[in-house]
Amino acid sequence: MLDRVILLDDLLKRRLPHTGVMLFNRGLYVEQAEAVHRCFSKVKKLYFLIGYDKIVQILDPHYYADRDVALRDLFALAELLVAPRADFGPQALAELLQKPENQPFAQYIHPLPFNNAYRNVSSTHIRQHSGAYKHDIPHEVQPFMRNTRAYAPPLRLADGTEVDYYAERVKVLQALLRNAAGEKSACSSQSVSHHLR
């Protein structure tokens, strides 16, 4: 997770320098929307950008004690922009929102126009077969993947032992975070990033 934050921060600094990264320790979008409005009182309009697979989850009653109450609370604070994924584009979203149970919330959920070239980009495919999907990996991320061997199998050395370079990196990260917590000091991603490069 920390590596993802560091990479995202690097990408944003290079490509969208006036943006930033927010971290939440709450899983529900309504809780995240509440936190944004509490901490940034000047925010007038809040949008969450999500993929089609996520809107299906958000509208699924299995995730809630009372789905409609939770969704009303969410949409009082934010709206959703839904990017197409694979074969699920604007038509699939429209059909989902036309279901009777979803119609009351349809006005807060909007399709996001998205270039078809990105519809099938999948982090799962990249993790499992990075060589085949190299064209989908941002050029800033490729050196990280190569240098850390994040998605590569362990290396077998001449003496028969195996070395998992990324697992070793994770151990270093965990030790740095434990030490920082033990010293009761804040451990910024920037300082951890410095130790890991």
Q: Which long-range contacts (CB under 8 A, 24 or more apart) does 135-139 make?
A: 138/11
Tell me, what's the pLDDT at 43?
93
- The token duo for 75 is 């949409």
Determine the pLDDT at residue 184: 52
pTM (two decimals): 0.74
pLDDT per position as a tens digit, 161-190: 999 999 999 999 889 888 888 775 444 444
| pLDDT of res. 127 | 78
| Interval 138-161 mean pLDDT | 89
For residues 78 and 46, the answer to whether their CB atoms sit within 8 Å is: yes
- What pLDDT score was predicted for residue 62? 92
Q: Measured in whole angstroms, how far is the alpha carbon of residue 171 from the centre of its chain? A: 23
Please give the pLDDT value at position 164. Answer: 93
Check residue 191 and give its pLDDT. Answer: 47
pLDDT tens, 24-69?
888 889 999 999 999 999 999 999 999 999 999 999 999 889 999 9
Dist. CA 83–CA 24, nearest whole Å: 22
Quote the Cα angle for 126-132-136, to 5°: 55
Unique residue bearing structure tokens 């320098």: 17
Q: Which two tokens stand for residue 133?
A: 């999907």
